[in-house]
Amino acid sequence: MQSNPHEDPLALKALQGAIYRDKILRSRALTTAQRLEEVFALSNHQVGMMHAGAMDRLGTTDEAEGWREVRRWFERLDAIREHGRFVREITLNS
């Protein structure tokens, strides 16, 4: 009987490494068009998750209300970026 890799830290680490390597190899085999398609699919999924989160936060089942909240969040992010409050990197003084 095979042991459960979750019970053995070394086996779990090996399994995680194998999964990671498989993902990398599959990604490298994609064409540029396939990669772009994956990006859009992930983006659409994430926006859908934001919508579900907005509806949950508002305690509503009204999809239009959920989309208004998502739009408000995006507008807030845009305003932060436009006012220079969003920083992509931090420069440390030595």
Write out pLDDT tens, residues 23-56: 999 999 999 999 999 999 999 999 999 999 999 9
- pTM score of the predicted model: 0.62
Domain that holds residue 92: 44-94
Per the domain annotation, does 36 fall within a domain?
Answer: no
Per the domain annotation, does 49 fall within a domain?
Answer: yes
Per the domain annotation, does 62 fall within a domain?
Answer: yes
The number of distinct structural domains making up the chain is: 1
Q: What is the mean pLDDT of the chain?
A: 89
Closest by Cα among 23, 70, 38 to 62: 70
| Token couple for 45 | 């999924």
Per the domain annotation, does 8 fall within a domain?
Answer: no
